[in-house]
Amino acid sequence: MKNNQQKPLDNQLKRPDMLVEIENIITVYYNEFTKSYYFDGEKHDFWELVYVDKGEVEVSADGINYQLSEGDIIFHRPNEFHTIGGNGIVASNVLVISFVSHSPVMTFFEKKIMKLTENERKILGSFIRESKRVFVDDLGRLYQESNRLASPVIGAEQMMYLYLQQFLIQLIRVELEPVNFERSTGMLKKTFKDSTINKIILYLQENMSQTVLLDDICNEFYLSKTYLKRFFKNETGYTVMTYLKALRMEEAKKLIREDNLSFTEIAQQLGFDSVHYFSTSFKKYEGLSPSDYEKSIKAYEEKISS
């Protein structure tokens, strides 16, 4: 009778040395800050990264002040006192991840500010996507035990750790290895391989205050309507009008947080026929009316600052 029990392979690969090990993820926040938000600071015995997804913020690290804009990321080492706030001009969307790692290579990130590449933004996007498969999004708090889903997607929490490790390794690689590209900006300002798609998106961004029809885009770029609809959806995953609406709504959220314009003025600036139509569209997109969104942001800032 044959012995079917497998024997260890002589040439079996050993477990590789781990460049970066994440021992624990402490918090994950995706904050939408007003232009006047200010957090007067803290320090803790674990790492924290702050990524500016949109807008601009002012941060300090052990008394040194820095201006960060869209696409910038800064790392705060353990026990480094740090603050963050708006610049009084532009509202911001900011991702904050705090975590424990004692890997020696983490010294690479001390006093480090970088501009993320498109690939690095995609990895962060995957990290956020997995977090929402484990925890309920509670006003930007994406990692909190009390918000754990009753039935998380299998393996999602482990994937968060893997994506965070991959993200940190990628940052080290890009900084230390010769590269043939420049770091670009903006996690949510997506760029695509096809230059025509990028030109269409730029056209939409520049004409958010106008009534934009498919015919206008077709005439601008010499495309048939049928081809435009299929081409744009295949490349971006969205219809042209859905993409334009998302651009307008994200801009509306930023303008509300900057607190310079009334809702009527925001509606006019973004090409809506009336403030009522704007409010209805905003609530359908965000789940809150413009006034409730404004209140929720201010209440959240007061809560996390206290």
Residue 257 and residue 51: Cα distance in Å, rounded? Answer: 18
* pLDDT at site 137: 76
CATH superfamily for 195-305 is Homeodomain-like (1.10.10.60)
* pLDDT the model gives residue 190: 58
pLDDT at 284: 84
CA distance 32 to 252: 12
| Residue 57 and residue 87 in contact, taking contact as beta carbons nearer than 8 Å | yes
| 186 neighbors 122 (Cβ within 8 angstroms) | no
Q: Map out the domains of the chain as residue ranges.
A: 24-176, 195-305
Q: What are phi and psi of 165, to 5 degrees?
A: -65, -45
Give me the pLDDT at residue 185, please: 32
**Residue position matching structure tokens 């490790």:** 165
* Model pLDDT, residue 191: 64
What is the mean pLDDT for each group of 10 consecutive residues in the chain (306 residues)? 50 69 93 90 95 92 90 94 93 94 93 86 92 82 80 94 96 66 38 82 91 92 91 86 90 90 93 91 85 82 65
Give the CATH class of 24-176: mainly beta
Give dist(CA 58, CA 43) in Å, integer.
17
